[in-house]
Structure 1
Amino acid sequence: MRPSIPTPVSQWLTNLRLPEWLLPTDWPLLNGLPQLAHVEVSAGVVSKLTPILPSDVIDFIDIDGALCLPSLVEAHAHLDKTFTRERIGNVTPGLLGAIEAMHQDKSKWSHNDLWLRAEKALQQAYSNGVAHIRTHIDWDSEQTPAAWNVLQALAKSWQHKIHLEQVALVPLTLLADKTSTDSILQKVISTDLGIMGCFIHSVNFNADAFEYLIKRAAQLNIDLDLHIDEELAEQPQGLMCLLDCLETVPFSGRIVCGHVCALSSCEEALATSLLDRLSKQPITLISLPTTNLLLQDAEVERTPKLLGLTLLKEAKTRGIPTMIATDNVQDAFCSFGEYDPVEALRLATYGAQLSHVFDRWSQSICDANYLSSDLPTFNLIGKRADFIVFDSKDVWSWPSGEMRLLIRDGGIIKASKQATTSLFNDQKGIS
């Protein structure tokens, strides 16, 4: 059960500074910025959102103008690999070197080892305000990997705290055989919250296998989640093949494309053309700044000249759903970090020089609709009253600092970092 304090049948959270993207389009402004919001909570669910606090409200928690977001989404993670870095040793710089080092570590992936490491990751993510995680799981043969079953069990164990989806990360070479493709697809879609995925790179590219995967997914009416063009190539061949296929095959689901680093290294005219085509398809882009900055253009004794970040601003300008996520934590791909999408967004803000980060780009770490097929407009009404309250009122310097309160079902359950302001210390029910 959620460790939340009991809440009355109806109460209010008052004076929340919510981001512009989360508010109705006719929301009033003050000095060009959205007015503070008041949220009515009934039985742990948001029932009303208003810019003015009703005069008859008695039971409320005053947020005092602090910046607030709904619970966070970790849209791309690798819980099977996490927290292995200390036992791996030296890793050859670059993506392929990390893949090889990680492959060598898999002999240690017992049921107990996978469970302990993945649960540690879930605990860390939850303490940072994450309520939705999509993890990729290496799927190296036709047989179901042990990690798939472990994560499925953890999803059930954590279902009251975190919505945990799992993606089969299958190398494209394994899908060259259509029988194997169909077998893996059936195993994946028979799993609750299971999603078919694939690793598509120049070292394993097979257009026939990729096109068959897309066509079968379209026939089965399922979503896909792809590692695609995670390299600084002159042509994003994976994305080009995907678009060519989608322009001839009706696809009713959603295709999430992670990394797409090659969009930043190809000629600008080609990138612009591909983004224009992409905007007409059911595709979501996910940028993973930690691993992309660490692994792309990686050479010993040479400072990287290219960042490897996909074209975030250009995608958002075209209305393409765009997300930012943590990716790897303390493994061969990324030696550092923790499961905190706010930190990933902060890094993307530096790398991609993002502006209006709180009011616009925070959607990229909160809106789980970007992972679904029909892309409904995000609406607080009817959702659990789960929020993160930051120890700041300044939208221009966010995200800065680490201090935050977690609200679950309308009740404050904990401060995730040591807090210093009166807003944090004066609240009742903090544990």
Structure 2
Amino acid sequence: MTTGFARMPDAPAFRLAELRAPACLIEGGEVAADRNGLARIDLVIAEGRTERIEPAGMVAAGAMPAVDLDGGIVLPRLVDCHVHLDKGHIWPRSPNRDGTFPGALTTVAADREANWSAEDVRARMDFSLRTAFAHGTAAMRTHIDSVGKQIGISWPAYAEIRAEWAGRIALQASPLFGADAALDPAHMAAVIAAVKAHGDGILGCVTYMIPELDRALDILFQAAIENGFDLDFHVDETNDPAARSLEHIADAALRHRFSGKILCGHCCSLALQAPEDEARIIAKVREAGIAVVSLPLCNMYLQDRGVGRTPRWRGVTALHELKAAGVPVMIASDNTRDPFYAYGDLDLVEVLREGTRILQLDHSGPDWAAAVARTPAEAMGLRGAGVIAVGAPADLILTRARDWTELFSRPQADRTVLVAGRPIDRTLPDYRELDHLMGRAS
């Protein structure tokens, strides 16, 4: 069994000694942080829960079995608020031949029509969840392609997977379809029925600058209000500065006095606005109570791609400016081995590492670990997730890295993941398990 480097005592109570934890992710302990935002702590684990959080060395040695982590960074199990489990791992049978966004759209549509049976979707979702669990993910929100016959296939499959994974990964789902489909009453009725029957009280779509965008948004907001739904949008995933549907979403939220949660993903074109336009849009986003998630790996892969041409920008949104204005910001995995992103492994440690490089988070405050933990948990309404808290389950990621540069310089393949205080088997599923779905001989 692969559990990482740390062996836990076989005792109902034990101490994890000499840890470094991001202070922004600690609740219920009075600890001081260094200039990197890391606090040296000891944790007392009892009956699978965090019983005490103390400054390192304050828990009496010998009082209980102990594991000395020698200054290694500890994180809570992490929260991935924007993924696509229904698309995951279709690359071997449906690669994106030119790597472009239009190429991804057409390739996924063809694969969905040809291959997305309930059995196919379930198998790929389960494979992805086993991967994320092994890496240390506690909760995920997946988008579900919700068009035509797929509504009746993917949503029941998702509900079955969510029930099977309860207690290991907390799952949420949001429907995904183009904003123009919101104008079709029959489509909206089918989506709302699926969310009510199989979902988690979340409605959403992909927004872009169609002439009827405001009317489509009004329909979505009104449906969310009538049904008590939150909202989740894919927004302005383009390098066209004329794409400003984020501002239209903020205007709609204010117009409807919407009191639910709103999460907007991508928002790429915000980074290409004139300064005065960017400031105006961000101010509206904050006033409307919208949270924003950037998807740095996928957007860097897709945006500004052209054959024989070096890309000129990173494809990510104005995350620093949003955060400075008080907007809740986060980063997430997005797609995994599908035409929108050929790579990825639903590993939020990797996402934080690469997001730090792509978005230059490293010289802008010590609390960016919250972007894959506390902040997405709050955006998803998950109390107690994404933090190291007294009384909470001891769901932790233990590493040997003693500071951020050590953490981000290596994949942390030797990490130990604890669920309720016990190490899990971190063996990753073999891609060969999916060969029968890819047209390959096993």
Fold match, TM over 0.5?
Answer: yes
Match of 2:218 in 1: 211
Secondary structure, aligned partner of 1:306: coil
Matched, 1:323 2:330: yes
| Alignment check: 8 A CA contact 2:231 2:262 kept | yes
Give the partner amino acid of 1:104.
A
Higher relative contact order (CA 8 A, sep 6+): 2
Two-structure CA RMSD over aligned residues (Å): 2.7
Match of 2:285 in 1: 278
Question: How far apart are the structure 1 equivalents of 2:102 and 2:152?
Answer: 21
Deviation at 1:179, TM superposition (A): 5.1
Question: How far apart are the structure 2 equivalents of 1:410 and 1:81?
Answer: 33
Matched, 1:372 2:372: no
Pairs aligned (count): 415
Match of 1:269 in 2: 276
Question: How far apart are the structure 2 equivalents of 1:23 and 1:369?
Answer: 14
Question: How far apart are the structure 1 equivalents of 2:384 and 2:356?
Answer: 26
Partner deviation per Cα, 1:186-226 (whole Å, 9 max, x = no partner):
33133253521201123686320112211321333321111
**Could you say which structure has the higher helix fraction?**
2
Q: 1:161 aligns with which of 156, 168, 173?
A: 168
Match of 1:246 in 2: 253
Q: 1:18 aligns with which of 14, 17, 21?
A: 21
Question: How far apart are the structure 2 equivalents of 1:190 and 1:182?
Answer: 12
Secondary structure, aligned partner of 1:132: strand
Match of 2:148 in 1: 141
Change (3 A) 1:376 1:92: same
Match of 2:111 in 1: 105
Deviation at 1:166, TM superposition (A): 1.4
Matched, 1:301 2:305: no
Deviation at 1:358, TM superposition (A): 9.6
Match of 1:58 in 2: 64
Runs of at least 5 residues in structure 2 that lack an aligned partner in the other structure: 429-442
More off after superposition, 26-35 vs 118-127: 26-35
Q: 1:27 aligns with which of 24, 27, 31?
A: 31
Matched, 1:40 2:21: no
Match of 2:438 in 1: none
Question: How far apart are the structure 2 equivalents of 1:357 and 1:77?
Answer: 26
Match of 1:424 in 2: none
Q: 1:407 aligns with which of 391, 396, 418?
A: 418
Deviation at 1:396, TM superposition (A): 3.4
Give the partner amino acid of 1:47.
E
Match of 2:73 in 1: 67
Give the partner amino acid of 1:394.
D
Deviation at 1:126, TM superposition (A): 0.7
Partner deviation per Cα, 1:268-322 (whole Å, 9 max, x = no partner):
2111111122122221111111221111112111111122101111111122111
Match of 1:231 in 2: 238
Question: How far apart are the structure 1 equivalents of 2:176 and 2:34?
Answer: 47
Deviation at 1:7, TM superposition (A): 5.9
Change (3 A) 1:145 1:387: same
Give the partner amino acid of 2:405.
W
More off after superposition, 344-353 vs 186-195: 186-195
Deviation at 1:85, TM superposition (A): 0.7
Match of 2:434 in 1: none
Match of 2:437 in 1: none
Match of 2:403 in 1: 394
Secondary structure, aligned partner of 1:65: strand
Partner deviation per Cα, 1:134-189 (whole Å, 9 max, x = no partner):
11110013872412221211111111211111111122121103454244223313
Q: 1:187 aligns with which of 194, 204, 208?
A: 194
| Alignment check: 8 A CA contact 1:188 1:194 kept | yes
More off after superposition, 284-293 vs 191-200: 191-200
Give the partner amino acid of 1:39.
L
Match of 1:91 in 2: 97
More off after superposition, 108-117 vs 120-129: 108-117
| Alignment check: 8 A CA contact 2:180 2:210 kept | no
Percent identity, aligned pairs only? 28
Change (3 A) 1:26 1:236: farther
Change (3 A) 1:337 1:373: closer
TM-score, normalised to structure 1, is 0.88
More off after superposition, 309-318 vs 92-101: 92-101
